[in-house]
Chains A and B, each alone.
Chain A
């Protein structure tokens, strides 16, 4: 069964760091592009980042560029989103989602993990 499960969210203070995980099952992450999408409370969807199949090409939204970093552990079929210098505006539910190609729709999503940045 194809599944994505995020974890690692929590309540943190501004300026601190957090690492989110996205564990994939039922498929191999190296066969798909994996995206991160976030949704602030009561707001719409915001695309955050993509890591492509080969793992070396990554792109980030301007709002997180230089602060967030994607990585992948192929042996664990797991993706990571390292979030540094967190700001209040990073507060959101974070979803990972897969796409067959970089430009195709996101056909499977995780349930999300909530990140709250507050002093």
Chain B
């Protein structure tokens, strides 16, 4: 199975900050890397698919990058509604594993 490791596990930041979350795969997953946002008590929502493609309706302050085994999710200017937990996921091969999550909290 492909292991997905996110860092950091938690992050405190302020409104307006630029933040980056990293996700590393245990082997190459080509471009089959997705990012989700989850708020408490809600289902996850797709933010970015195929490394850098923004899902419809997602604000442009979210961006994704990387290749091979190392990937990033960047939020250019944090807004109050962005404080949530973020997960990366590989869909290169089953089981389609998720990272352990990064909880983004208000400083």
Residues of A participating in the B interface, judged by any CB pair closer than 8 Å = 35, 37, 44-47, 50, 59, 61-62, 95, 97, 99, 102-107, 109-112
B12 within 8 A of A: no
CA distance A103 to B71 in the complex (A): 17
Contact A105 B55 (CB under 8 A): yes
Chain B: interface size category: 20 to 34
Q: Is the CB–CB distance between B91 and A105 below 8 Å?
A: yes
**Docked pose: A102 CA to B32 CA in angstroms:** 10
On B, residues with C-beta under 8 Å from A are 1, 32, 34, 36, 38, 43-46, 48-50, 55, 87, 89, 91-92, 94-101
Given contacts A47-B94, A47-B97, A106-B34, 8 further A-B contacts (CB under 8 A): A45-B87, A45-B89, A59-B95, A103-B91, A105-B55, A109-B45, A110-B43, A112-B43
Q: How far is A31 from B67 in the complex, measured between Cα atoms in Å?
A: 29
In the complex formed, the residue of B with least CB distance to A62 is: B95
Are A111 and B43 in contact (CB-based, < 8 A)? yes
CA gap between A104 and B91 in the complex, in Å: 6
Known: A105-B50, A107-B46, A111-B43. A61 touches B91 (CB 8 A): no
